[in-house]
Amino acid sequence: ARMGRTVVELFYDVISPYSWLAFEALCRYRHIWNIDLRFRPAFLGGIMQQTGNKPPAMLPKRGEYLLKDMKRMAKYYQVPLRMSADAFQHIMGTSSLTAMRFITAIDMTNPQYLEPLSREFWMRFWSQHEDITQPKNLLAVAQQAGLSAELSQKALEMISSATVKDRLKETTAEALKYGAFGMPAVVAHYDGEPHLFFGSDRLELLGSFIGE
């Protein structure tokens, strides 16, 4: 990092809609704030399991509220996130492990595609309500993000490798070490200390904290 720039890490999983909001907002702020934004693809399932956290929609009243909240947030941030009535069944019935391994493989080999690729995964799952678990769909997302067939195929082959599995586990463990219990987990390295901000609605607080 250049002198005086605050390193801000965003730990995210494409299964998390609030992560998409934080991702897009931070992508905008990085041009205005003096920050070095780092994307850290991690596995939400692992974080929930390790911390004993439960999906918020398991509480019916909270689930009802979340549907409305997401719609308002999507409109406010101007992100094409579309909540369907069965959005939570949709999440519960999907594992993001393969997608996050695929994103990790690209991060390790061609990090310049990390941002567009992650965005396309959110677009596919949260805007188009389409599958993100099948190999052919992973390749379709990669193609949308501008990756060549060759790079996409290589990443697909890498997802079953120990290197990729271990990297995703390490990133997830790092998020846990910073105190994450869900996503998005935003970690600002300020005054030599890491500071965790949870959720997409703490960005004003993050800005204020780092003097922005």
State how many domains the chain has: 1
SS3 annotation, 116-180 = HHHHHHHHHHHHCCCCCCCHHHHHHHHHHCCCCHHHHHHHHHHCCCHHHHHHHHHHHHHHHHCCC
Query: What residue numbers bound the domain in which 132 lies?
Result: 6-207
Structural domain contains residue 11: yes
Q: Does the annotation mark 16 as catalytic?
A: yes
Tell whether 212 is covered by a domain. Answer: no
Q: What is the pLDDT averaged over residues 42-54?
A: 95
What does the block give as tokens for 195? 């500071």
Predicted structure pTM score: 0.95
**Catalytic residue chosen out of the listed positions 16, 19, 96, 118:** 16
pLDDT at residue 86, as a whole number: 81
Distance CA 196, CA 212 (A): 17
What's the pLDDT band for 3 if we cut at 50, 70, 90? low
CATH code of the domain covering residue 158: 3.40.30.10
Residue 83 binned pLDDT confidence (cut-offs 50, 70, 90)? confident
Residue 118 lies in a domain: yes
Note whether residue 1 is domain-resident: no
Tokens (6 digits) for 35: 């920050």
- Residue 178 in domain: yes
